[in-house]
Structure 1
Amino acid sequence: MGTEEAHDDHGHHLPAVEDWPRGFGEASWWPFVTALGAAGVYVAAALYILGRGDGAIVSPIAGPAALVVTIGIFLVGLYGWVYHAFVIKFWERDADAKSANKLRWGMLAFLGSELATFGALFGYYFYIRAGDWGSIFVGVPNLTTSLVIGNTLILILSSITLHYAHVAIRNDDRAKFVGGLAVTLLLGVVFIGGQIYEYYEFIIHEGFTLTSGFFASAFFGLTGLHGLHVSLGAVLLGIVFVRALFGQYSAERHVSVSTASMYWHFVDVVWVFLVVVLYVGAEVGA
């Protein structure tokens, strides 16, 4: 293969062609790594169940350990995918409104698939609530605590600060932009810490776990999936924040700020709906 042919790349010029492995056009291993990490969450859940009770066939620590590893793989894959697809060559391209709109529509399509995922789990919850399941709330601890109320307010506040940062960069106010991003990222980390502490209280002190019944499986499935999404959002905001520190945004070039904001506002709205349906709904139905 000649040099001219090797650099042709079939007429495409996307950042992914610089990714590993080389020599396969636009092929990339990063989506595969991300998918592998996501699939590993289900393996970790299976190991957790197999490690419970007197007839456990694996170590009780196998499930949690596998979960930590697979989430790490997922986050690494996501970072590599986002970085190589959207960041590494960004400043070598011209500001193109058409390309920016493609990315925004791509994010909307992704959020549509996420809405379907959450909708399936909410459908499962509504199904078990609609049937004659009078005992599903037996053993369920008090869910609507000051912790969940505080965490909800924190996440709502993070959407406000992110909107403030987004408006600031559109007005080319870099100082307010970076400050708003920093506060948003901090609030997101605090929310994640609050949810981890909530799980600790439920599992260790209340004995309320994934295997405690139908409601418990719905509760941990929905809140765990949402917690994973908030963690991913924090990673995206972290990338945006680091790029902001290097001055890589302006009033004309901030499409990744827009797409990250869309994702963050989405997970905030899902959380509010989740609190009303799951937390408050459990208190009403108990």
Structure 2
Amino acid sequence: MTVADDSGEEHGHHLPAVEDWPRGFGEASWWPFVTALGGAGIYVGAALFLLATGQQPIVDPMLGPVVFVGAVGLFLAGLYGWVYHAFVKAFWSSDGHGSSGLRWGMVLFLGSEIATFGAGFVYYFFIRVGTWGTEEFPELLGSLVLINTALLVLSSFTLHWGHVELRKGNRRNFLVGLAATLLLGIVFIGGQVYEYYEFIQHEGFTLESGIFGSAFYALTGLHGLHVSMGAVLIAIVFIRALYGQYTAERHTSVTTVSMYWHFVDAVWIFLVVVLYVGAEVSL
């Protein structure tokens, strides 16, 4: 993303992307490429993990987890660099140039996310038409998923409230809203990890539990990855907010991160209805 040019030496912060990388790349940034490479590596790690399972594993069982963890690290590093140069550096621009472009950039990014999740749901609907056994299903629609859903929905309200308070000039309430949203997001992630633990250890419901098992963990895992990424973004916004880098007139990154978080919230509701409630109805 392109933001208004500014001097790193003048404000004492990190140099812009064009000075971080070899000359000759103009205004281009390598951070989106690094982030995309890490995201692709996550899928490669998952594929290697699957190739290591079964009666005749094709690759070493440790290869998949190692690639996955390394890819997550690369993805987060690229995301940090991308967010820093797209948003943090933009804070020092006095004219606010690029705010509209950043918002539209997030809209386009969410469009690609809709396509990603849409492909996953199309896969689920396709296999749902066929015949599958239900005897291996655990009780999906329990109190844990209901509480987790309520927490995630609540986090959208706290984020929206905090954003509204910022535009009113109330910095204290803005910080409270951000902190509450971040806490709720972390608790949601912990709840999903605990749900996986219960299903795998106590119910014997794993990735290999038929086609429904693979679809369940693929879709919920993909969503969990997006919530984790959203929590990282909110944490960055929260740290910046502590330094007073947002005002009622300058809050572009708050807007774009809010758009992402509300999208993740909406996807989870749809996922619960289709996957959790749908499986219970089939029983």
Any stretches of 5+ residues in structure 2 without a counterpart?
7-15
Shift in CA distance, 113/176, structure 1 to aligned 2, threshold 3 Å? same
What is the CA deviation profile of residues 217-265 of structure 1, one whole-angstrom value per residue up to 9, with x for unaligned ones?
2111111111111111111111110110000011100111111111100
Aligned: 1:180 with 2:181? no
Equivalent positions of 1:60-209 (< 5 A) are 60-96=61-97, 99-130=98-129, 132-135=130-133, 137-209=134-206
Equivalent residue for 1:273, pick from 270, 273, 279 = 270
What is the CA deviation profile of residues 132-188 of structure 1, one whole-angstrom value per residue up to 9, with x for unaligned ones?
3242x3412111111111110110110110011001100010000011101100110
Aligned residue in 1 for 2:21: 20
Equivalent residue for 1:260, pick from 251, 257, 262 = 257
Shift in CA distance, 266/89, structure 1 to aligned 2, threshold 3 Å? closer
Given that residues 16 and 85 in structure 1 are in contact (C-alpha distance below 8 angstroms), is that contact kept between their aligned partners in structure 2?
no
Q: TM-score, normalised by structure 2?
A: 0.90
Aligned: 1:47 with 2:48? yes
What is the CA deviation profile of residues 52-73 of structure 1, one whole-angstrom value per residue up to 9, with x for unaligned ones?
2342344434323332221121
Given that residues 90 and 96 in structure 2 are in contact (C-alpha distance below 8 angstroms), is that contact kept between their aligned partners in structure 1?
no
Which stretch shows the higher mean deviation, 193-202 or 175-184? Answer: 193-202
Given that residues 48 and 59 in structure 2 are in contact (C-alpha distance below 8 angstroms), is that contact kept between their aligned partners in structure 1?
yes
Runs of 4+ off more than 6 Å: none
Which stretch shows the higher mean deviation, 12-21 or 64-73? Answer: 12-21
Q: TM-score, normalised by structure 1?
A: 0.89
1:282 deviates by: 0.4
Q: Separation in 1 of the partners of 2:158 and 2:197?
A: 29
> Residue 19 of structure 1 aligns to which amino acid in structure 2?
D
Given that residues 5 and 93 in structure 2 are in contact (C-alpha distance below 8 angstroms), is that contact kept between their aligned partners in structure 1?
no
1:51 deviates by: 2.1
What is the CA deviation profile of residues 87-120 of structure 1, one whole-angstrom value per residue up to 9, with x for unaligned ones?
1242133134xx3222111111111111111111
Given that residues 170 and 250 in structure 1 are in contact (C-alpha distance below 8 angstroms), is that contact kept between their aligned partners in structure 2?
yes
